[in-house]
Amino acid sequence: MTLNVALRILDPRLRDWGFPRYGSDHAAGLDLHACIEAPVVVRPQAPAMLIPAGFAFHIADPEWCALVLPRSGLGHRDGLVLGNAVGLIDSDYQGPCMISAWNRNPPQPDGQAGIIIQPGDRIAQLVFTRTVRPQYTIVQEFPAATTRRIGGFGSTGIASSCGNPPGQRNS
């Protein structure tokens, strides 16, 4: 299955940075570059900032959407995540792709620490995925009750159901 996406380059530096490209042959996410004119510092716990990715695109097919996701290493190691957790881009959107960058680290006593983003840094990724728009049936009761119908958040606990304490394996 092939998805044809119209892509408009808004920042000519993207061509020099190798955009569009994936980080490896099996990568799911397209690398998104920070298309900024000068380095920026994302301060701990400061409001999220919008960073242009330097292009616009149009998916057009209503069975598809795109997700802007953080890069795992930057989030885990450095604390750079997305201000909106995940950016959802609908198939009819045609505006510029933007990255909502946020520094999840705690504030430092000196107030100076932050994550420096350089022009061209790969700071997020774009993943295309299928969507489904279900048909809805309004009901008074669900046809079959489940044990999960009223439990809610955390109701199944965190313990492993295989009988081994976490961190131990069967011999």
- Residue 165: pLDDT band (50, 70, 90) is low
- Residue 73: pLDDT band (50, 70, 90) is confident
- Residue 123: pLDDT band (50, 70, 90) is very high
Phi-psi label, residue 2: left if phi above 0, alpha if psi -120 to 50, beta otherwise: beta
- Residue 136: pLDDT band (50, 70, 90) is very high
Helix (H) or strand (E) holding 16: helix 13-16
For 72-102, give one letter per residue: b (16+ CB within 10 A) or e. Answer: eebeeeebbbbbeeebebebeeeebbbbbbb
Tokens of 85: 């957790």
Four-CA torsion 121, 52, 67, 59, nearest 10 degrees? -120
The stretch 95-107 carries a mean pLDDT of 95
Query: Which residues are registered as beta bridge partners of 71?
Result: none
- pTM: predicted TM-score of the whole model, two decimal places: 0.83
Q: What is the C-alpha separation between 19 and 168, in angstroms, rounded?
A: 44
Q: What pLDDT, on the 0 to 100 scale, is given for residue 91?
A: 97
Would you say residue 134 has pLDDT above 60?
yes
Would you say residue 110 has pLDDT above 80?
no
The stretch 152-168 carries a mean pLDDT of 69
Would you say residue 71 has pLDDT above 70?
yes
Q: What pLDDT, on the 0 to 100 scale, is given for residue 109?
A: 79
The stretch 56-77 carries a mean pLDDT of 94
Sheet holding 80-82, edge to edge: 6-9, 49-58, 96-103, 80-82
